[in-house]
Amino acid sequence: MSRKALIAANWKMYKTSAEAQAFVDAFLPMVAGHTRDEIALFPSPVLLPGVVAACKGSNVAVGAQNIHFAEEGAYTGETSARQLTAAGGTHTLIGHSERRQYFGETDEIVNKKLHTALKHGIVPIICVGEVLEERESGKTASVLKTQVTGAFAGVSLAREVTSSIVIAYEPVWAIGTGRTATPEIAADAHRIIRAEVSKLLGSDAAAAMRILYGGSVKPDNATALIGQEEIDGALVGGASLKPDSFAAIVKY
């Protein structure tokens, strides 16, 4: 089963709109004509309309780092799915470990956000991953299974829809630490995740679903990671902030 890789830039809370514009101006020519992989940028909400405008007509999609699960309402500081799509965003991250750690996102919230994203035709990238203590105490598989099961509660869809869902395996101990999972460790975790998806949604959906790796992906380790049969792309933080380094990862 061949799955088109997705290389995604999570800019987190970095860049002003002028810096985002300068990034896109430099980056688009570097990846012009690149069709082997899908490419997506995830800027802060205030930057998103500008990045969408700058990427218009290119091979680069734009998404949000987070959406709220409600359609609309009195949720100060939040962004709805409808606001995202109206602004030209096509993807969203859901349940990034920083959202889970600092903003109290639970598997239940992740699940509600997934339903909302699917309802609005937004490509969701569900983030899962264990913390160091869980890995060291042999709990990685059970943590991943719990997160995947929680995320997919109540989701049973046609294969065309489930194949648009993306999972990102981001071991928390590898995020921003320079400590990358080895390709074998990552591939093992991806197999656990895919097996769980297969139990929940069936083997066809599991075979079609892309599972990205995230956590200290850099130009010099991207080939070894994404080259693994089980790894269908990357979710990149720090190394996505500079056009040349992100372009080098896109061209792994």
Note the residues at the interface with ligand 13P (CB under 6 A): 10, 96, 170, 175-176, 214-217, 235-239
Q: Which whole-number Å values give the CA distances from 145 to 76, 115, 160, in the listed order?
A: 33, 19, 23
Q: What whole-number distance in Å separates Cα of residue 133 and Cα of residue 162? A: 32
- The least CB distance from residue 217 to ligand 13P, in Å, is 5
Catalytic residue among 98, 105, 134, 170: 170
Is residue 53 within 8 A of residue 41, CB to CB? The reply is: no
Of 19 and 204, the one with the shorter C-beta distance to ligand 13P is 19
Which residue number, 39 or 236, has a Cβ lying nearer to ligand 13P? 236
By beta carbon distance, the residue nearest ligand 13P is: 237
Least CB distance from residue 9 to ligand 13P, whole Å?
9
Q: Which two tokens stand for residue 118?
A: 């699917």
Active site residue 96: yes
Q: Provide the minimum distance between the beta carbon of 224 and ligand 13P in the complex, in angstroms, as a whole number.
A: 15
> How would you class 161 by CB atoms within 10 Å of its CB: exposed for 0-12, middle for 13-18, buried for 19 or more?
middle
Q: Which residues on adjacent β-strands are paired with residue 235?
A: 8, 214
Query: Exactly one of 68, 91, 96, 190 is catalytic; which is it?
Result: 96
Residues identified as active-site? 96, 170
